[in-house]
Structure 1
Amino acid sequence: MQKIERLVAITLLLQARGKMTAKRLADILGVSTRTIYRDIMALSLAHVPISMDYGPGGGYYLPDDYHFESAIFTREEAVSLVLSADMAGNYSLFAGDDGLHRALFKLEATLPEEYRVDVRAARERILIDTSAWYNHSIPTTAYLEIIRSAVLEARRLDILYPCLTDTWSMQWQCVEPYGLVLKGVSRPQMRTGIWYLVAFCHKYQTFQTFRVSYIENLHVLKEHFIPQADFDLQVYWQEARKYLDEQAQKLVLILRIAGAARHELKGSYTVLAEERDGSITVRIDMASLEGAVSYVLALGVDATVISPPQVRSAVATTAQAIAEMYDLTNLDKQRQPR
């Protein structure tokens, strides 16, 4: 969450929920209390009338008659804020808070018409799919904000992404980012999701779906592109989901895990067997072959793939490629002057 989005979130939370402590705000927004103190100071400098009650039952609060002033935002910030509000209303600890939803609607209503035009255009490129898949771990998305900006600005990207052909390897691909989709995932007592980038790939000359958490690196290019006028993100996603659902249902990973590495298992898994030496055989439902390979490699030599065969083959190929990359003889040759 960007700073400007966090400042608005604090203001909306105080409007919707009343008096709140810095610690409670920090817990909701996933930042430190020191960051909240700085944000409160920034809001005060922007003439947001936040007051503070000290002692037991104290906290920050706003006057009952306070109205949000949208004029303090730029056009770009306004678009970013409303999109973040869309996601906050569906996929965070804000979910289910009717008071906050009303505050979000009031915020959007205060925006100038020219800002709302941009918001409507941006919503065509940011899609939230609320149908949930099975419960599994949610990866980090380090480049999400950069990608979102590239989508809204229609700017080309070079992305380093796993390529599954005869071998599994990381390859650079030039893409035109058309949209982002947040695919809902069911989690205990909250709603969250997995981000996908929908982009036109120059290498294959077709639209493809890229899981944002699998992007290892990226570069934002200077060139802009003109989106195809007949492209509909929602129609495309309906077809793409059929393939992703099929892949998610088919890939069941069976591993034998050494006893010493049992505590390193992440996410949801089922123990199928336990041996006297402490090793276990587990079943893990994976969303893709790429995800299965990354999961196994993270466990190193303590994990043995029993099935499926394509995961075992891909892990072996990737491990060999890594070994060759770090081969000392090759490194010595690279260091020699030419």
Structure 2
Amino acid sequence: MTAKRLSDILGVSQRTIYRDIITLSLAHVPVSMDYGPGGGYYLPDDYHLESAIFTREEAISLILSADISGNYNLFAGDSDLHRALVKLEAVLPEEYRLDVMAAREHILVDTSAWCNTTRQPTHLETIRAAVLGSYQLDVLYPGTSCQLLPETGMLWRRIEPYGLVFKGLSRRHARTGRWYLVAFCQDCQSFHTLRVSDIEQVYVQEETIVPRPNFDLRAYWREARKQLEQLKPPIVLKLHVSAVARYSPLHGDVTIMKEEQDGSAIVQVNVESVDDAISYALGLGADATVLDPPHVRSAVASTALAISAMYS
């Protein structure tokens, strides 16, 4: 079949067909091409889709990925991911399916924090649909993100959403993250990174986005991340932890700097803010002492005194 015929059947552009052919070829599907009148793309007569395209370990890991991904999934209810995995599982060899069943019976991944009450950002599903459909959005968002708007208060603005980015965060006793929306603001005519959880309201417009030339989401995020880290550099927290805390799970970006003979250790932890540093240190109780930086040490001491006064 020609690319034109395939595009008509599938309801996509010929450019999409060309990209898909390249993708299939890279996946070792032997798509061939005959040139000239009567030519087109074809598969060899003796070709059949090999169901065992994964190793046993790869198949199990992929099928269990819905559990491993936890609450990070982009689609509401995770139904699309589960449907895709059900289809994938159906074409696996019988012995692989038995291994997957055994894995499900004996491996449980619970990604939620204890007493977890967190929810997905309210408008994530709406924004996801607009990003994939290339529709403009009206959003109610803090004015601090736009240089041409007042610095305070929630303001409406028209944006062109170009991508969603999930940024993982390190928290003691939990693994979580935040969704960011990369969008072009029509008010100030520049790109911005908006935190999805800070969007108060959103309305999808009928107008579609006219793609801006040479925009690359990954390249943009690399630079945006550098700027975000410069505006809010991590706090390097130095702790002396007891042997009890030393051999318990120390979550986050932890580096062991020195081990003592009694089993205790000097550790270094990167946290995002003073509040995070206080929570991290107090979470270890009397098994950790803040050594540095001084202002965090003072803040932890003041918080501990306030807690003591409150309970006494």
Q: TM-score, structure 2 length as denominator? A: 0.40
Does 1 or 2 have the higher relative contact order (CA < 8 Å, sep 6+)?
A: 1
Larger Rg: 2
